[in-house]
Structure 1
């Protein structure tokens, strides 16, 4: 159940949230770092 929730959350993230993989993490704003962290958190929980 938990894994299915996070897999759905990752798919939603890919559709809705901006992609930041081409940007340097040191130049991101605080809000963009939060988005990046949330996407990473959701991705790691979907693979457990």
Structure 2
């Protein structure tokens, strides 16, 4: 149940939230908001793969 929820959430995130790798954002120079979005997407992806 948890894994399917995170897989669904990951698909929604890929449609709604920006992709920083496609934009070429340097994470060392990213704003706090960009870092928060990156961390959230990383957390969702990690839980979807477990």
The two structures share one fold, judged by TM-score above 0.5: yes
TM-score where L is the length of structure 1: 0.95
Give TM-score, length-normalised by structure 2: 0.92
CA RMSD between the two structures: 0.6
Unaligned 5+ segments in structure 1 are none
> Following superposition, which runs of at least 4 residues in structure 1 exceed 2 angstroms of deviation?
none
- The unaligned stretches of length 5 or more in structure 2 are none
Which structure dedicates a bigger proportion of its chain to helix?
Answer: 2
